[in-house]
Chains A and B, each alone.
Chain A
């Protein structure tokens, strides 16, 4: 009993450390590729935590979808746009922004922790009616819940994904006309002209 508990504690501690380190890396590192790799670390840590909580199915899709697909997509975009260029915009961190972000982020952190701790038993005061987890396997349970209780929401997600795909195709398709410079929207057009003349 003690051994199991120790293993669990150790697992949690290591995974949590990986998560937090990765998260700090995402926020602090300058190179976008490093950011993305830090994100992968965090996601893996979360996946380990899922396994520790016996959410095996979620751990699997966490790795496949998040660490696999989404982060690869990030990296793909970073490479597509060029690492140098991507790096350049990581520069310039305003001290005021740093302060505001730190205060608000920290505030959220502390307050959320307090609220969640105190509210563990009284969050809503009501149990979900979907069904118990144990003793059968989680995949079975999730599948049953998805296709009975949440069937409508599940169908909606398919619609959402379709829309997202269509939107991505539309956004990244090369426009047939000449490219539009974002600096040149009508209200500021005279200024742009003046600069051109000076140049």
Chain B
């Protein structure tokens, strides 16, 4: 397979993820959308790594995985902490940091 197909798939996944992030209001689903976007990027990284015959792309994917794990841990921690105090929350209700 040429990398073009992979790149196209990456773009599609990224776009779906971005749209979901903007449309959905549930913080949990928003997080899932972010994971989608990260995966989309990973797909392109691996494709380019293969195309260029260079291990760097795969190493970057490894780091993205680690960072995603850390991000999910903290993000879900925040959601749990918030939900424990308030039920039925949407991301739009969390506006304490307004200017």
Contact = CB atoms under 8 A, between A and B. Distances in A.
| Chain A directly contacts chain B within the complex, with at least one CB pair under 8 Å | yes
Contacts of A74: 28, 31-32, 72, 76
B58 A35 contact: no
B32 A160 contact: no
B78 A133 contact: no
7 contacts: A66-B39, A100-B22, A130-B59, A133-B50, A133-B54, A133-B55, A146-B62
A97 B22 contact: yes
A81 to B, nearest CB: 5
Interface string B1-32: 10111111111111111111111111011011
Interface of A: 8-9, 12, 16, 19-20, 23-24, 26-27, 32, 35-36, 39, 42-43, 46, 49-50, 52-55, 57-58, 61-62, 65-66, 69-70, 73-74, 77-78, 80-81, 85-86, 88-90, 92-93, 97-98, 100-102, 104-110, 112-113, 116-117, 120, 123, 127-128, 130-134, 138, 141-142, 144-146, 149-150, 153, 157, 160-161, 163-165, 167-172, 174, 179-183, 185
Nearest to B31: A74
Contact of B63 (A32, A157, A168): A157
Nearest to B28: A32
B20 A20 contact: no
Contacts of A127: 52, 54
B29 to A, nearest CB: 5
A113 B8 contact: yes
Interface residues of B, number: 81
A108 B28 contact: no
Interface of B: 1, 3-26, 28-29, 31-33, 35-36, 39, 42-44, 46-59, 61-63, 65-74, 76-90, 93-94, 96
A78 B78 CA distance: 13
B39 A42 contact: yes
A58 B66 CA distance: 12
Contacts of A109: 11-12, 14-16, 18
Contact of A104 (B19, B63, B65): B19
A46 B36 CA distance: 10
